Structure 1
């Protein structure tokens, strides 16, 4: 098992015991209504502690030893996630939280904030652990494991996370949970009718491949996850600038996120028939690279004119989605770091998603608010579908004009999904640009806590 893949659960949580100290997560109002014991309240007032968001006050006992801590929640809507600071601010040892907020929300924030990427540098860290009851601890550990797997995969540079390496992780995850994992590699993609995946990845030193995992009970609700696995994107012959290429190790963020989500689903033993598809490629430049102006017939039969080789993610997803929809699932989700237009529209913190299923959109939006897992629905506006027209082929991969780029990309993908399929497309960023209490700078999991809960509901669990 690769040491950087959090298939084994994180160790920042522990079982409850009498040895743990209390940390009171409080608002300013809690300091006025008797929530805090008198001695701690007197100490807070003497030191001027006002429960501002992210503030910490250590409280001494009568004998001068450390007895407790107060942690300020402020009044922010994601107050529970601010508990990510606790893993860095608290002294070493075991702690338990006392708060009006749900214990699992505080624990999740704490755990997410404890993450660090350690594959290439071993920083000395304090051993701060949060003590929880078994049921809460196991569920929070499961969600942390999924998020940490996604973060680790995105943070790993392409020299150690190319298509071959991603397949190793994919198979290891499947083996851990008793899933069946297979792959179609190199020219076999052409033989088995995945021409777009092959075209995008053929110029790389590592052969393109389609990874497939099957797990769960046949006859259960069918859930299919598709993740864009472009392990590095030079832009191809329409080469990116140096600044735009700098973060392109994260262009497999869709694959990383669906693997994190799959981990949570399998670890929870949800009663679903799970299928995971990852087209894993590197969009490189060589004499055999695909070119602007080329036309390819997709797996579905639609011909696609290549008007920009930097619009490659939708190509590999097109073949994968067509394949997924040949056995129509009850839920089809694809995730991809697809367009800069999505970032312009919603910034880097909110995951845009597209679906024509009103019930699905409504429920996902409800769960995202409850889970502090921000996402926002954007329209599959049919008026822009005409922009996909090509003079020589059925559709173009890069409409001209530069307008509504995230929507036209989603409309492109929609061409490869059946009208009756319950489908949602997530155009995620996969990266945190500036440190947050619950999210250090670097690779990030988007929307998978919401999707996990939706699938759990679908499974009746």
Structure 2
């Protein structure tokens, strides 16, 4: 017999002493009840808050009871209930095996991605990140997964100068991880999509060094890599039957005598030259390599994810991710799928002329503007920099600046640390072409 604490949903007016309308959940001796309202969006937030509250009460095993628990409500509860370090368990309310399997796959993948981001930087560095991603994707994709690691000076031999430049000061060598998922059985099958992830496993800011308080959570700067890897893992588990590649651009952005400096100029594989005016604008430098690789595959859909700018977080807060694209059809598809999966996503401005918004008198472009935060429109200007490297002038390209990827401290909706926000949306994008 299960000893899990039952959680009920009710649309009835509560008849309990001490209940407040603002309360997310009413916990009793034998079970707890969440009282629903008319607005379903608010219900989902309330259910997520209830999960946080019950975790805070050290209730470590729950059973979601009753017929009112649809998939989105169950997932909202799980998002709040699964704390950073806890091993809480949930008995799902789904009434068929397929629904339970779907929710458990989503939970397991999300927990894996969050743990990857939350691990300390002495445990997660470029090679260990690549190893963990290879292990996870091989477990779910088995013989359909083929991996390649390009590391250290091999990056220069193959033309991936951005990743090498950013990571060369660390004793942990930078690398590009390429994962090819091909379930078709045909070696020459076309690649339908490429996922590109920013894998900066620690970001000191380089010579544009961050403050101590600004640096303390910079283990999360590889959350883009964890997000796209998690999205691919989830898509595979839920039936992805097309060829998709994953490219992770991995480095530690540190300082020593080999570190890149302000005023340096990088020449990329496509011949574009970039002047460094801010070594803390390093994510776009590594993603430029990943986008060029993606272009070489000919894939019609390219998605990148990165904790790229503080400006995006200023614009949309830390409960949303920001979306950039010059492809209206793909952007609208992403927004629609995000709405279906209840992942908050907001489109910010990007036009072709944003490519020229970081001018340099010495190179084709600079990697930022020499102003705090990159100046006004910093998130759009960063996306504009990437647009220089996206194939087909940005057709088929989506850029997720994942402002909601990490919370330095807990709040009423989320535990401290990674959120994995964006995994469901990107996974759906792969499976709905």
Shared fold, TM over 0.5 = yes
Unaligned runs of 5+ in 2: none
1:129 to 91, 97, 105: 91
Distance change (3 Å), C-alpha of 1:78 and 1:212: farther
Alignment of 1:372-411 (within 5 A): 372-401=342-371, 402-411=375-384
Answer yes or no: is the 8 Å Cα contact 2:4–2:91 preserved in 1: no
1:55 to 25, 31, 37: 25
- Count residues in correspondence: 415
Distance change (3 Å), C-alpha of 1:309 and 1:138: same
Distance change (3 Å), C-alpha of 1:128 and 1:411: closer
In 1, Cα distance between equivalents of 2:264 and 2:402: 28
Answer yes or no: is the 8 Å Cα contact 1:94–1:131 preserved in 2: no
Select the structure of larger CA radius of gyration.
1
Distance change (3 Å), C-alpha of 1:398 and 1:114: same
2:168 to 186, 195, 202: 202
Answer yes or no: is the 8 Å Cα contact 1:373–1:450 preserved in 2: yes
2:331 to 361, 370, 393: 361
Instruction: State the Cα distance separating 1:365 from its structure 2 match.
Output: 1.5
Length-normalised TM-score, structure 2: 0.88
In 2, Cα distance between equivalents of 1:368 and 1:138: 21
The two structures, once aligned, show a CA RMSD in angstroms of 2.5
Instruction: State the Cα distance separating 1:347 from its structure 2 match.
Output: 1.3
Match of 2:8 in 1: 24
2:321 to 342, 351, 366: 351
Instruction: State the Cα distance separating 1:363 from its structure 2 match.
Output: 2.0
Match of 1:188 in 2: 154
Answer yes or no: is the 8 Å Cα contact 1:49–1:57 preserved in 2: no
Answer yes or no: is the 8 Å Cα contact 1:303–1:395 preserved in 2: yes
Per-residue CA distance 1:181-222 (angstroms, 9 max, x = gap): 110000011111111111110000100100010113354761
Length-normalised TM-score, structure 1: 0.83
Give 3-state SS (helix, strand or coil) of 2:92's partner.
Answer: strand
Distance change (3 Å), C-alpha of 1:207 and 1:308: same
Per-residue CA distance 1:221-253 (angstroms, 9 max, x = gap): 611100000001111111111121111111111
Give 3-state SS (helix, strand or coil) of 1:342's partner.
Answer: helix
Distance change (3 Å), C-alpha of 1:31 and 1:348: same
In 2, Cα distance between equivalents of 1:297 and 1:19: 62
Residue 163 (str. 1) matches residue 163 (str. 2):
no
Match of 1:423 in 2: 397
Match of 1:97 in 2: 65
Residue 439 (str. 1) matches residue 414 (str. 2):
yes
